[in-house]
Amino acid sequence: MKTQPMIIHHMVKGADLNHHDTLFAGRGAEWLVEAGFIAAASLTQPEHIVCLNIHGMIFTRPVKKGSLLKFETRIVYAGRTSLVAYVRVVFSQTDEFVVEGFLTFIHVIDGKPVPHGITVEPVTPDEYALYEKGKHLKEQGHLSTKKIG
């Protein structure tokens, strides 16, 4: 299946800032996971999705209070029970790149990994590159998932 990107937005408020008055990385991670979860949950039932791994988050610039952030996310790789999401974040006003990351989610029922039947079919060169990166990260970060949650 060809996965469609999903877009969500967040406004950076005072409560989201660290001691340098820029976006607290923990809040950024929360929003990154939320965006990836929305992409994964859009392909199956949300109650069956859990986050297994945040493969990385690389900020390219500080984010100040009042900034509007656009999170574009999509599932780029599907294993038997896993889904790998890619999230790219830009300033909504300027499209300047802020942060990106990959996350692995597991499809579970009663805390046990269960096949989801989802396939990802990349079409463009960019989609193939994300597919290969997602596959590599999933294989590299493979952990035992006998019981999740």
Q: Is residue 1 situated within a structural domain?
A: no
The CATH number of whichever domain residue 19 belongs to comes to 3.10.129.10
Q: For residue range 135-144, list pLDDT tens digits in order.
A: 998 888 654 4
User: At 112, which amino acid appears?
Assistant: K
Which positions of the chain have pLDDT values less than 70? 1-2, 141-149
Count of the separate structural domains present in the chain:
1
pTM recorded for the entire structure: 0.90
Quote the pLDDT of residue 1: 65
Q: Is residue 100 situated within a structural domain?
A: yes
The token pair at 14 is 């005072």
Instruction: Give the residue carrying structure tokens 């990802």.
Output: 120
**77 half-sphere exposure, CB direction, 13 A CA radius:** 21
Q: For residue range 114-127, list pLDDT tens digits in order.
A: 999 999 999 999 99
Containing structural domain, residue 21 = 6-144
Kindly give, in sequence order, each residue whose CB lies less than 8 Å from that of residue 114, ignoring residues fewer than 6 positions away: 48, 81, 107, 108
Q: Is residue 149 situated within a structural domain?
A: no
The token pair at 141 is 């970060």
